[in-house]
Amino acid sequence: MKKQKPDNLKGFNPFNQLPQEIIFTILDLLNSNPLDIKSFSLACKSFYAAESKHRTSLKPLRQEHLPSILSRYPNIAHLHLTRCSRVSDTCLSFVSHACASSLRSIDLSRTHLFSASGLLGLALNCNNLVEIDLSNTTELKDSAMAAVSQAKNLEKLWLARCKSVTDLGVGCVAVGCRKLKSICLKWCLGVGDLGVGLLAVKCNHICYLDLSYLPITSKCLSPILKLQHLEDLVLEGCFGIDDDSLAVLKHGCNSLKSLDVSTCQNISHNGLSSLVSGAVGLQQLTLAHGSPVTSSLADSLKKFSMLQSVKLDGCLISYDGLKTIGNWCASLRELSLSKCSGVTDEGLSSIVTRHKDLRKLDITCCRKITDVSISRITNSCNSLTSLRMESCTLVSREAFVLIGQRCHLLEELDLTDNEIDDKGLKYISRCSQLSNLKLGICLNITDEGLIRIGRGCSKLLELDLYRSVEITDSGIIAIAQGCPGLEMINIAYCKDITDHSLLSLSKCSRLKTLESRGCSMITSLGLTAVAVGCKELTKLDVKKCPNIDDAGMLPLAHFSQNLRQINLSHSSVTDIGLLSLAGISCLQNITILHLKSLTPTGLAAVLLACGGLTKVKLQAEFKWLLPHRLIEHLEARGCTFQWRDKVLQVELDPKCWKLRLEDLMP
């Protein structure tokens, strides 16, 4: 006879006795995996309620879900609406009332439809709002800035590419938001000296200021450099700034720690010499794509004792310039020489032998350096955590052994398009802290070297094997077994990869990105395994995988509920398979070029059913074969179409391509 529970234990839940602080601590530990949090909240009513109170950040997919979501989560402080392509004033009004006391930051970048009215409600009702991101909302005008100016406690404002905003709008912000600390005006082409000058005069607490590509001149620099708390100043692409403009630095800007004057062709060593007396605390300097780096320019900066990071990407650089950098009194931690013409073994060696505390070094496309440089780098800078050396084609296979022998602290290593072989990988596998490894277009590596990496680099998170054509299943299986935390792998055009690789990768439960373009031997069987095992998958590229068909789409639709981006071009997926993807509410970006069995009728049904789509890439022919009203309807819903003018590979009866919108719309 079954034993009965005592009456006093019926309905008893021991978890109800736990203090809320303990439950919140458990939730903090689960934050890295949304699926774990979901499972936790569904365990019992008390956990469901606790998770609702604990959550402070939201990234909803669609604006129509906001009322129910915000009703469940009353303590939202950070709201990211970037995945909602259309956010109306009504939506913002609801947010401003539901989160009136808790909201601290809202991200509206890349969203549309709302106006100054919606922003005004946020500014007036949400008294604790300290950050607004309006980047890429190109339709907003000065009236929107007048609304934002009512947010009296605002500290951070991002307006990148708001090209319709002018000095008048920025002036409103300057007058109304006196507590502003960080502002980005990058590519706000209607803003000039007047607006920037008003910000500098009215907002005395600014510490971060991005003025990239603004039509400003020296007129606004004087008030800017009087800001007592200014630490980061970005002047990238400000062509009106020249040597005379920087002369105002001589009067002092002791708080400045980071200066970016990249793509400023009118700045030479004469202008930079002003930094020496005015910005003595400078720690990071970016001069990328600017004037040639000569000994005079380098010499003008030699007195910066606190300088730690210098970025010279894309500059013409002389040997004397490199040698002078080597003689600086500062001990550099980061140096970027990506695509710098003029970098030689002798010049680079003069730097690394003096700056032995380097942590990050970028010598991408420095095609003149040889084994000599690698020997000097690894011998002097064995504390490197990041080394990027893509396309250093004169470096021989033997040199890569030195990296593994001497630089055991490496976390990031980019060896794309180099001569490294299995012996080099054998020694690099000693870098046990490695988390990001790029081996794209490395034609000399095989499974033997990759097996070594799998055994030695258990912390690997990202692996790029793009077009490393000698890699087969054995190497991928070793990586999957040895690197269980893998989050991204690119095996595109590794022609010998089969389903065995995908079956092994399905054990990597944290995998988020799988790029297997051109792997013609993988099938829907392998894709099914990945869908079942990798529930955090967000990006999938199976372009030119002809054996991927509808059988692979159904498991994706069921298990891969976090999938946001997929490329199915040149596969064997049909209308039916595409339609099954409508069950993935997260799906936003889809590329479907050259699907032989795709019909206008099926495509229209798919586009209507996938309600969260924000970007679709299609052949140009479909632009004329789909009803115009359908395209307008989808664009109004927030979907952007990219049409590719490629010839269809199949012949279809034009009579079958006629379609009426009324046949599809409810």
Cα 211 to Cα 159: distance, rounded to the nearest angstrom: 10
Of residues 491 and 299, the one with the higher pLDDT is 491
474 φ, ψ (degrees, to nearest 5): -60, -45
Q: How far is CA 533 from CA 512, 529, 537, 560, in A?
A: 11, 6, 9, 9
Model confidence at 645: pLDDT above 50: yes
Taking residues 384-402, what's their average pLDDT? 97
Q: How far is CA 629 from CA 215, 400, 632, in A?
A: 41, 59, 5
Q: Got the DSSP string for 5-20?
A: PPGGGTT--GGGGS-H
pLDDT band at residue 277 under the 50/70/90 scheme: low
Cα 396 to Cα 260: distance, rounded to the nearest angstrom: 35
Model confidence at 329: pLDDT above 60: yes
5-19, 236-250, 263-277, 620-634, range with the lowest pLDDT: 5-19
pLDDT band at residue 547 under the 50/70/90 scheme: very high
Identify which of 197, 163, 158, 203 has the alpha carbon closest to the alpha carbon of residue 180.
Answer: 203
Amino acid 3: pLDDT: 54
Cα 101 to Cα 96: distance, rounded to the nearest angstrom: 9
Identify which of 423, 415, 328 has the alpha carbon closest to the alpha carbon of residue 363.
Answer: 415
Cα 166 to Cα 164: distance, rounded to the nearest angstrom: 6
Residue range 68-102, pLDDT digits in tens: 889 889 999 999 998 888 899 999 999 999 999 99
Cα 439 to Cα 454: distance, rounded to the nearest angstrom: 14
Taking residues 282-294, what's their average pLDDT? 91
Range 131-282 classified under CATH 2.40.160.20 = no
Amino acid 269: pLDDT: 76
Taking residues 146-165, what's their average pLDDT? 97
Identify which of 542, 530, 467 has the alpha carbon closest to the alpha carbon of residue 501.
Answer: 530
**Count of CB atoms within 10 A of residue 424's CB?**
26
Residue 348, SS3 per DSSP? helix
Angle, vertex CA 388, rays to CA 455 and CA 355, nearest 5:
110
Helix (H) or strand (E) holding 361: strand 360-362
Q: Are 89 and 112 in contact (CB under 8 A)?
A: no
Nearest-10 crossing angle of helices 45-54, 34-41: 130
Amino acid 291: pLDDT: 86
Percent of the chain whose predicted confidence (pLDDT) is above 90: 72
**Count of CB atoms within 10 A of residue 52's CB?**
14
Amino acid 383: pLDDT: 94
Taking residues 368-378, what's their average pLDDT? 97
132 φ, ψ (degrees, to nearest 5): -135, 130
Q: Are 82 and 109 in contact (CB under 8 A)?
A: yes
Identify which of 586, 579, 542, 541 has the alpha carbon closest to the alpha carbon of residue 560.
Answer: 586
Nearest-10 crossing angle of helices 193-202, 167-176: 0
Model confidence at 663: pLDDT above 60: no
In the chain, the amino acid numbered 155 is E
Judge residue 653's burial from the number of C-beta atoms within 10 Å of its C-beta, 0-12 exposed, 13-18 middle, 19 or more buried.
exposed
pLDDT band at residue 653 under the 50/70/90 scheme: very low
| Category of 568 on φ-ψ map: left (φ > 0), alpha (ψ -120 to 50) or beta | alpha
**Mean predicted lDDT score pLDDT of the chain:** 90
Q: Is the dihedral of CA 266, 269, 272, 277 positive or negative?
A: negative
Pairing of strands 309-311, 284-286: parallel
Cα 130 to Cα 151: distance, rounded to the nearest angstrom: 8
Residue range 216-250, pLDDT digits in tens: 988 888 899 889 999 999 999 998 888 887 777 66
Cα 598 to Cα 590: distance, rounded to the nearest angstrom: 14
Amino acid 281: pLDDT: 86
pLDDT band at residue 430 under the 50/70/90 scheme: very high
Alpha carbon 534 to its chain's center = 21
Contacts of residue 561, Cβ cutoff 8 Å, sequence gap at least 6: 535, 584, 585, 586
Q: Are 301 and 329 in contact (CB under 8 A)?
A: no
Residue range 180-219, pLDDT digits in tens: 999 999 999 999 999 999 999 999 999 999 999 999 988 8
Amino acid 16: pLDDT: 66
Amino acid 4: pLDDT: 56
Q: Where are the alpha helices (DSSP H) in 75-179?
A: 89-98, 116-125, 142-148, 167-176
pLDDT band at residue 276 under the 50/70/90 scheme: low
Residue 432, SS3 per DSSP? coil
What residue has token string 């799988």?
514
Amino acid 647: pLDDT: 57
Taking residues 287-305, what's their average pLDDT? 87
In the chain, the amino acid numbered 138 is T
Amino acid 25: pLDDT: 76
Q: For 145-242, where are the E strands, in sequence order?
A: 156-158, 182-184, 208-210, 232-234
3-state secondary structure 516-546: CCCCCCCCHHHHHHHHHHCCCCCEEECCCCC
Amino acid 13: pLDDT: 64
pLDDT band at residue 646 under the 50/70/90 scheme: low
Of residues 24 and 465, the one with the higher pLDDT is 465
Identify which of 577, 482, 285 has the alpha carbon closest to the alpha carbon of residue 590.
Answer: 577
- Per the structure block, which two tokens stand in for 164? 């319709």
Cα 23 to Cα 237: distance, rounded to the nearest angstrom: 50
Of residues 153 and 282, the one with the higher pLDDT is 153
Of residues 13 and 528, the one with the higher pLDDT is 528
Taking residues 265-291, what's their average pLDDT? 82
Work out the end-to-end distance of the chain between its first and last CA atoms, rounded to an integer number of angstroms. Answer: 57
Residue range 113-144, pLDDT digits in tens: 899 999 999 999 999 999 999 999 988 999 99
- Per the structure block, which two tokens stand in for 3? 């034993």
Amino acid 501: pLDDT: 98
Cα 245 to Cα 2: distance, rounded to the nearest angstrom: 89
Cα 559 to Cα 525: distance, rounded to the nearest angstrom: 14
How do the domains of the chain map onto residue ranges? Answer: 16-106+114-129, 131-282
Amino acid 243: pLDDT: 82
Taking residues 150-178, what's their average pLDDT? 97
Amino acid 251: pLDDT: 67
CA dihedral 72, 77, 78, 83 (to 10 degrees): 30
Amino acid 651: pLDDT: 38
